[in-house]
Amino acid sequence: MKKVVLITGANRGLGLETARQMSKLDYQVIVTSRDPAKGQAAADSLGASFHPLDVTSPDSRQAVFDYVLAGFGRLDALVNNAGIMLDEGRGLLDLPEETLRLTLETNAFAPLALARLFMPMMAAQNYGRVVNVSSRMGQIAHLNDYAPTYRLSKLLLNGMTRILADAVRGKNVLVNAVCPGWVRTDMGGSGASRSLEQGASGIVWAVTLPEGGPNGGFFHDGRRVAW
Ligand code: NAP
């Protein structure tokens, strides 16, 4: 039976490229997107399944969980990819509180909520891979006032990666954070140094880790990086 992988924000950018690479492996890919038309088109182009998911909506998260349970009976891998960077050019002291709230909700709280939904199922089936798509902008040594809420959200995502990994230790559920590098997407911009293929390959590496692989780490291109 094919392993089932769900990817958030898979209608474009790194999420779509991860879905494309996973589709070439022996995985049943579930593309999710908050825009149903774009998500369905992306899924159709890959021969993947589709379900709408706005990661910030509790109802939407529950609906995708119900869909996975009813349709597949299991989830083998969760890629928390959806993310936003709204605060470029604004410092922590002068950006709107709504920016802070929405960034933390989308980039940190939503991945945690999805992990809490799906990880008990993974622990029970003694198999699971959770990949939190993070950024070295959230490394402690790199914290500064450029894109401050984005940095804080990734710092929080990295912290929860470690704690979630500890929560499932010994259950063959591996939870890791991955930085794709600076990638040419809408977020990364056209001047970024890396292609989509290069960026997504480190995510696919973490999804496909064998039993006994690293748990609770932070990686770039399969190599451990500092928190
Ligand atoms: P992107 O091209 O801007 O794509 C972001 C994706 O997230 C889109 O599919 C977007 O959907 C989705 N999204 C945002 N809010 C959402 C929500 N509430 N519910 C569901 N989906 C939502 O960005 P990207 O470069 O591919 O980034 C993907 C991940 O990589 C992010 O976590 C980002 O922080 C991380 N990352 C990127 C880089 C880089 O250089 N590109 C570097 C380090 C880390 P819509 O189309 O509906 O907006």
Mind listing the pLDDT tens digit for each residue in 152-205?
Answer: 999 999 999 999 999 999 999 999 999 999 999 999 999 999 999 999 999 999
CA distances from 117 to 62, 121, 227 (A): 8, 8, 26
**Residue 136 phi/psi, 5° resolution?**
-70, -5
pLDDT greater than 90 at residue 85 = yes
| 23-46 tens-digit pLDDT | 999 899 999 999 999 999 999 999
**Whole-structure pTM over 0.85, yes or no?**
yes
Please write the tens of the pLDDT for every residue from 90-122: 999 999 999 999 999 999 999 999 999 999 999
Is 154 a catalytic site residue?
yes
pLDDT at res. 109: 98
Ligand 1 contacts CB of residue 11 (under 6 A): yes
Over residues 131-151, the mean pLDDT reads 97
Protein residue with its CA nearest to atom 23 in ligand 1: 187
Beta-sheet strand order (sheet of 218-220): 49-52, 27-33, 3-7, 77-80, 128-133, 173-178, 218-220, 223-224
pLDDT of residue 88: 72
Choose one of 35, 40, 81, 187 to mutate for the ligand 1 pocket test, by most ligand atoms within 8 angstroms of C-beta.
187
Q: Look up 146 and say whether it is catalytic.
A: no
Q: What is the mean pLDDT of the chain?
A: 97
Contacts 24+ apart (CB under 8 A), 59-65: 60/34, 61/110, 61/113, 61/114, 61/117, 62/117, 64/6, 64/32, 65/117, 65/118
